[in-house]
Amino acid sequence: MKCLTSAFTEKKGISYFSNHQHTTLMKYFTSLVAFVLCSSAFGQIDARIGIYIKNLTVDQKNGEFYADLYWWLKLPASLDSSQIKEYAQLEFVNATEPENILVETKRTKDIIYITGSCKGLFKFYPEYHAYPVDVQRLPIIIESVNQPETYIRLVPDSVKNGNSASKLNGVDDEISVPSYKIVKAGYFNETKLYNSNFGDPDFSDNMKYSRIIFEMDIKRESQSFILKILIPNLFLLAISYLVFFIPASQLEVAVGCTVTSLLASIALQLTINGNLPDIGYLTNADKLFHLFYLLITIALVQTVITFNLDKRGKKEFARRLEVMGRFVFPVILLVGVLVILT
């Protein structure tokens, strides 16, 4: 706008003709040229960005992952060297002290091609509601350092891997994340609104910056869930289930089985939860353990009730209650597991 205003108001170097019509045409022509030059210099451009992850490790407990990656940037060939230097300044928003190195800049007939490398820790927000069959989302957020969306719009420049049907474009095939499997990777655009001008009087109080987010979805391997949670608890539940076959008069034996199973299950839950950070909500693993506690408690309560019935001479009623428990116990277990995990 400054260029356009100055083009309309600047009079130095403009010759005044005696013919008023020629003077008016000259002003219009000068203004039009200035407007075109200003638009080409300060208009919005599209910058195509791509990244390739060559190494990845995840620290879920601290909500961080380490990434070692290549990045590239494609700019219009019409830009001059000062504009290239300005537009090539990229920020990895969710990285903590990244090592970002500009490797190469070359100009071709159609584009300006800039490449670099970056490595460091990136923050993410773990989601454990579905634990231990959870999917974690690992973002890499890229933004221009000081050019708002008015001047530069970041768009993905996705390069296919050898397998065109792959959902893991931009991720090296040899990357392996312990206890996880990378199931998806891809780009999407976002506009970030900053309610600040960062102290610069030339900027507005509502600055919008274009972002590219490269996101990877990693899914926890279910084998560890089966081995560490279900199998030990199924053995403990089997011990609790035996009380439905113990005579009602043997209260000490039945109580010993259920109480031991309950304490062992609590100790197992504390061990499993030690792998997670402190969170303020229940995970699926917690719900499963609560289901196991409920079943063990039902077995314990049934034992006490049948003992009292047997002691008062209601042996047939006590026997029927035990038989009913043999069917109700596994049904509650199966239904509960299906509800929690689906």
Find tokens 């019409």 and name the residue. Answer: 78
CB atoms under 10 Å from CB of 170, counted, come to 22
pLDDT of residue 117: 93
pLDDT of residue 296: 94
Express the helix, strand and coil content of the chain in percent, nearest 5 each.
40, 30, 30
Q: Where in the chain is the domain with CATH 2.70.170.10?
A: 43-220
pLDDT at 171 over 60: yes
What is the architecture of the domain spanning 43-220?
A: Distorted Sandwich (2.70)
Confidence of residue 85 (pLDDT cuts 50, 70, 90): confident
Whole-prediction pTM value?
0.74
Please state whether beta strands 152-156 and 135-144 pair in parallel, antiparallel, or not at all (unpaired).
unpaired
Confidence of residue 4 (pLDDT cuts 50, 70, 90): very low
pLDDT of residue 166: 55
Closest CA to 304 of 252, 227, 231, 228: 252
Confidence of residue 160 (pLDDT cuts 50, 70, 90): low
SS3 228: helix
pLDDT of residue 29: 38
Burial of 146 (0-12, 13-18, 19+ CB in 10 A): middle
What is the architecture of the domain spanning 223-341?
A: Up-down Bundle (1.20)
pLDDT at 196 over 80: no
- What pLDDT, in 10s, does the model give residues 86-98? 888 899 999 998 9
Top-confidence residue, 15 or 322: 322
Q: Which residue type is seen at 272? A: I
pLDDT at 80 over 90: no
Q: Tokens in use for 234?
A: 């199924």
pLDDT of residue 123: 95
What sign does the CA torsion over 28, 34, 35, 36 have?
positive
- What pLDDT, in 10s, does the model give residues 208-232? 899 999 999 999 887 777 778 888 9
pLDDT at 327 over 90: yes
pLDDT of residue 8: 30
CA distance 273 to 283: 10
Q: Tokens in use for 24?
A: 């008016």
Confidence of residue 277 (pLDDT cuts 50, 70, 90): confident
Q: pLDDT over 90 for what percent of the chain?
A: 37
Top-confidence residue, 295 or 248: 295
Q: Where in the chain is the domain with CATH 1.20.58.390?
A: 223-341
- What pLDDT, in 10s, does the model give residues 26-45? 333 333 333 333 334 457 88
Lowest mean pLDDT among 20-29, 36-45, 55-64, 271-280: 20-29
Q: Which residue type is seen at 93? A: V
Q: What is the mean pLDDT of the chain?
A: 81
pLDDT at 131 over 90: no
